[in-house]
Amino acid sequence: MIPVYKKIRSGPSVKEAQKLIAEKKEAAWSFFSKRYGNNFMYQGTLVTCDPRVIELLLMERTHTKKRSMVYRFLYAMIPLAHGLLFMDGANWQKKLQAVMPVFARPHISTYASFMHSCLHEKIHTWSNEENFSDLYQCVVKMNADLLMKLGYGLAPGSEIAQQLSAALVAYKFDLMDPDTRIDAFGISMHTLKRLPVFIKAQWKRRSRNRQLAYLIKEIINKKMAQANEGLNWIQCLHESGYSLKNIAGEVNHLYGAYNALDYSITCALYEIGKNPAYAARLREELAVTVSLPIGITHKDFDAIPQTICFMQEVFRYYPVSMGISRRTGEMIDMPDVYIPQGQEVLITLYALHHHTDYWDEPDVFHPDRWKDGTTPIPFTYIPFLKGPRHCIGRHLAELNFINFLRVWLLNGEIVTSPEVMHLGPYMIPRFEKELTGKYTKFI
């Protein structure tokens, strides 16, 4: 029998939770922890922003061996979702080993020059005043062009690269269609009513699966993928013996993970667009790097401390997922908390990164909080997670983020609107409406 003082209290009803999210927007995630505590039960799932529990879940291998039922459901239901995030066991290990060479930090650094030149050339095709009706779509397109070489080894601007890019972007936007999304916080009658629409959408997405498989087959047969040292996701997976269908799924899955960075960069542009004074500070610091035409690599990060602080704050303030799912491999017995084996757990990243117990003024975007090497309480800042299932794309994401920011700031200034933007009511966050902007180039 579990002692009363170790029992985890019940959280809100689904109706109450979704009402609070509708009313309070993203602030609702922090509100839940204030009202119900750092650990509470919600529809049979333990919801936590307790760093003690999070450390165990992320670092102890017993809790990382078996994926959450949420991920297993997505793996089974969504076409082209058969990727690393949703896998476990020997299959995960094999695929991880196949793609890992592309993510090695020394290899990633060799792409700094290409990142710089590709972004620089794109901006110089714009007019002196470039207006954006949706800044996020602009970022998506620019980074997709980068990824064709970085991840897939395709010649930038080639017909096959353009076709693959268009297919991946179209699939992602289709997947994020509000009419077919079911990644709300909790299962309600509204969610169940949308299931037929969701299932129908998956059947339609199978045609995108066939289109992508056709493109991958053409790339492999004609040996079009030629990245540095021959390392790229398509080639690595093909040489590891994966089927065409499996390669297509992983190619799409890896793009979906990379697309999370598009959201982070859009958030960064939003913040500098509404704060010209801070943008000027970053521009002044980044100006010292103009002698690095090859772009910034990780070894140059020490020379741009303010920019690194800004990046860290973007990753804190705007986590790319409101939460991540885990499943306990054995019981967790702590002085005040007992969690049984096999318990589904949702780690609420937004609540963790905005918790008043862990951060001063957590709902203020304040990059200077990271000055002087300030380190947060362990396991209260985990934008790339930690442990055996950490994000293997961290080095690529950081390098891409910094070089993207550098090119934009040194070549012009961005103004964004509206002044206040909220996030949509989903587990995978995006701004609830389009972010418009105007980019003025320096003459």
* Predicted model pTM: 0.94
Residues 129-160 have pLDDT tens digits of 999 999 999 999 999 988 888 888 888 788 99
Residues 325-364 have pLDDT tens digits of 999 999 999 989 999 999 999 999 999 999 999 999 999 9
Residues 53-66 have pLDDT tens digits of 999 999 999 999 99
Between the two ends of the chain, the Cα-to-Cα distance in Å is 73
- Whether the per-residue pLDDT at 375 is higher than 60: the answer is yes
Q: How confident is the model at residue 228 (pLDDT cuts 50, 70, 90)?
A: very low
Confirm if 261 and 144 have CB atoms less than 8 A apart. no
Q: How much is the pLDDT for 230?
A: 47
Q: How confident is the model at residue 201 (pLDDT cuts 50, 70, 90)?
A: confident
CA distance 198 to 175: 10
Report the DSSP pairing between strands 344-347 and 45-48.
parallel
- Whether the per-residue pLDDT at 4 is higher than 80: the answer is no
CA distance 369 to 91: 41
Q: Where are the beta strands (DSSP E) in 300-432?
A: 324-327, 332-333, 338-339, 344-347, 412-417
3-class secondary-structure state, position 437: strand
Work out the angle at residue 420's Cα, subtended by the Cα atoms of residues 48 and 317, and round it to the nearest 5 degrees. 35
Q: Which residues contact 270 (CB under 8 A, 6 or more apart)?
A: 135, 416, 421, 431, 435
